[in-house]
């Protein structure tokens, strides 16, 4: 076992994409090989190799449909010299599109009401992709809504992450299958060796109805988003509804994920029309990208900011590049604020977050802790640009999770996001360096230990 640990330590040295991850794995593999070797088999890979191959196979299998989407979006493509938007276009591989109608949701009940309304109106197909889908009150209602549409003859394709939704009962899924809902779990469907890639997760939340309406954002399908969590109570999150050409971009992201899960390309609508006057770019990121796309986007947003950089995330465990970008923005006078929950659902991540206080606060970065419940939203505001999606400020979103976001410089939408975040800050308190430095040594030691383990979280 020690020989296996040494061999895997060499692999981690050569293949890990960050020095922190490489050091953490090497130390673990050489010191505790009986524990670390099996863990490295499941969690050590840094690329979702099967998905990369499936994506490249689009030359043969998805080329026609992808080209249909690209052709349909060309008439609405915006070409400008906005450097931040150009970076997002390059990182996500999708165009910046005009002709959309956008609606922001900050309440779970309102979000699910809108979702169920659009699902009920669907006539041709419904595409569903969730990281967490529970068989509780909301999940049962969603299941029955999908079952009804399938029995009406509407094509329903349901994709869920096998880790995030691992508690879905077989009877729950069997009822859906018997009604005509086609479902797959994302991750281990196609190749035996992909079962060693549990570390990669599809963290996206997507609903598309008839190619006309799409929903993306932070809300999963679970009762806690209605404010009924027994520990946290109110669950603060943000979602968005999209109508117009950008729906096709969301649909294309779903198709790529669906193709990985089952090797099929569904027959969908690949034409579009304007639904409003707002612009939007869909930014999909994940471990199949050649670059760490979400991390690079966050850095670009930090570097672009001149007046304001506000970021809300439930998990703040950034890498050195993001820390430096935040510090740089604050040092040049930008109002940099990080909004995190005061009560976290992950104790290890919460400890790790404290360990960053001193280095970012010394540069002028402000940290606010939300006190009205659990803050789960993933929102970024960089001057006159706003982003709403699924990506957190942690190693997992930067390098391991498949994420999706909507990014825009539409004045009306950005103003809405600004107002929402301003209200969130009003129900938060500003943390200070003493919240870490003034704690007992064993608390600070626990925080430093959690930070050391953060690449493995």
- Considering 96, 378, 395, 451, which one is annotated as catalytic? 378
Q: What is the spatial distance between Cα 392 and Cα 372, in angstroms, rounded to a whole number?
A: 20
Helix (H) or strand (E) holding 16: none
Residue-level pLDDT at 175: 97
Same CATH fold assignment for domains 50-82+100-277 and 293-456:
yes
The residue ranges of every structural domain in the chain are 2-44, 50-82+100-277, 293-456
Instruction: Residue 280: name the closest of 422, 110, 131, 92 by CA.
Output: 92
Note whether 404 and 204 are within 8 A (CB).
yes
> Is 304 an annotated catalytic residue?
no
Q: What is the spatial distance between Cα 382 and Cα 20, in angstroms, rounded to a whole number?
A: 28
One-letter-per-residue 3-state SS of 147-199:
HHHHHCCCEEEEEEECCCCCCCCHHHHHHHHHHCCEEEEECCCCCHHHHHCCC
- Considering 376, 385, 395, 451, which one is annotated as catalytic? 376
- Considering 98, 185, 203, 241, which one is annotated as catalytic? 203
Using CA atoms, how far residue 202 sits from 129, 253, 344, 404, in Å, is 9, 12, 22, 10
Residue-level pLDDT at 186: 86
Residue-level pLDDT at 189: 47
- Considering 210, 223, 335, 435, which one is annotated as catalytic? 210
Residue-level pLDDT at 59: 44
Residue-level pLDDT at 231: 77
Output the pTM of the full model. 0.88
Residue-level pLDDT at 263: 82
Bridge partners for 233 per DSSP:
229
Architecture of domain 293-456: 2-Layer Sandwich (3.30)
- Considering 96, 185, 205, 304, which one is annotated as catalytic? 205
Q: What is the spatial distance between Cα 321 and Cα 328, in angstroms, rounded to a whole number?
A: 11
- Considering 136, 345, 383, 435, which one is annotated as catalytic? 383
Instruction: Residue 366: name the closest of 329, 391, 395 by CA.
Output: 329
> Is 185 an annotated catalytic residue?
no
Residue-level pLDDT at 50: 54
Residue-level pLDDT at 376: 96
Q: Fold for 50-82+100-277, please state it.
A: Endonuclease; Chain A (3.30.870)
Note whether 322 and 356 are within 8 A (CB).
no
> Is 273 an annotated catalytic residue?
no
> Is 383 an annotated catalytic residue?
yes
> Is 422 an annotated catalytic residue?
no
- Look at the block and give the residue holding tokens 């957190």: 392
> Is 223 an annotated catalytic residue?
no
Written as tens digits, the pLDDT of the chain (457 aa) is 656 656 655 655 555 555 555 666 565 666 655 455 555 555 555 555 555 545 544 545 666 777 888 888 999 999 888 999 999 999 999 999 999 999 999 999 999 999 999 999 999 999 999 999 999 999 999 999 999 999 999 999 999 998 899 899 999 999 999 999 999 988 654 554 444 455 788 999 999 999 999 999 999 999 999 987 777 788 999 999 999 999 999 999 999 899 888 888 898 988 899 999 999 999 999 988 889 999 999 999 999 999 999 999 999 999 999 999 999 999 999 999 999 999 888 888 989 999 999 999 999 999 999 999 999 999 999 999 999 999 999 999 998 899 999 999 999 999 999 999 999 999 999 999 999 989 998 888 988 888 877 665 5
Q: What is the spatial distance between Cα 177 and Cα 333, in angstroms, rounded to a whole number?
A: 56
């Amino acid at each position: 076992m020690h020989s296996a640990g040494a061999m895997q330590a060499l692999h981690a040295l050569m293949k890990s994409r960050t020095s922190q991850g490489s050091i953490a794995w090497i130390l673990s593999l050489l010191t505790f090989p009986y524990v670390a070797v099996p863990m490295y088999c499941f969690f050590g890979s840094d690329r979702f190799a099967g998905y990369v191959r499936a994506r490249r196979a689009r030359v043969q299998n998805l080329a026609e449909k992808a080209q249909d989407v690209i052709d349909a979006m060309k008439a609405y493509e915006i070409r400008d010299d906005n450097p931040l938007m150009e970076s997002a276009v390059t990182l996500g591989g999708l165009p910046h599109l005009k002709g959309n109608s956008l609606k922001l949701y900050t309440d779970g009940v309102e979000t699910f009401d809108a979702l169920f309304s659009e699902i009920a109106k669907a006539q041709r197909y419904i595409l569903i992709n969730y990281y967490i889908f529970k068989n509780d009150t909301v999940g049962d209602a969603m299941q029955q809504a999908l079952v009804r549409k399938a029995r009406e003859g509407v094509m329903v394709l349901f994709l869920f992450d096998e880790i995030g939704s691992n508690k879905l009962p077989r009877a729950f899924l069997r009822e859906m299958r018997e009604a005509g809902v086609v479902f797959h779990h994302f991750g281990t469907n196609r190749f035996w060796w992909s079962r060693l890639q549990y570390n990669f997760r599809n963290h996206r939340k997507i609903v598309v109805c008839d190619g006309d309406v799409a929903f993306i954002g932070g809300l999963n399908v679970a009762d806690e988003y209605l404010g009924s969590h027994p520990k946290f109570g109110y669950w603060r999150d943000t979602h968005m509804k999209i109508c117009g050409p950008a729906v096709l971009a969301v649909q294309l992201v779903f198709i790529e994920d669906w193709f990985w899960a089952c090797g099929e390309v569904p027959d969908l609508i690949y034409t579009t029309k304007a639904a409003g006057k707002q612009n939007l770019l869909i930014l999909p990121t994940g471990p199949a990208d050649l670059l760490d796309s979400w991390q690079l986007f966050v850095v670009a947003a930090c570097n672009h900011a001149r007046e304001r950089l506000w970021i809300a995330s439930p998990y703040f465990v950034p890498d050195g590049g993001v820390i430096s970008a935040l510090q740089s923005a604050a040092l040049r006078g930008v109002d940099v604020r990080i909004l995190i929950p005061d009560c976290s659902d992950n104790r290890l991540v919460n400890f790790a977050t404290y360990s960053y206080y001193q280095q970012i606060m010394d540069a002028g970065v402000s940290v606010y802790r939300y006190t009205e419940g659990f803050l789960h939203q993933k929102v970024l505001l960089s001057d006159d640009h706003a982003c709403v999606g699924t990506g957190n400020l942690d190693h997992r979103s930067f390098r391991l999770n498949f994420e999706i976001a909507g990014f825009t410089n539409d004045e009306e939408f950005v103003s809405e996001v600004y107002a929402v975040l301003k209200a969130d800050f009003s129900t938060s308190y500003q943390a200070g360096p003493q919240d870490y430095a003034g704690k007992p040594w064993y608390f600070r030691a626990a925080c430093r230990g959690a930070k050391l383990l953060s690449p493995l979280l």
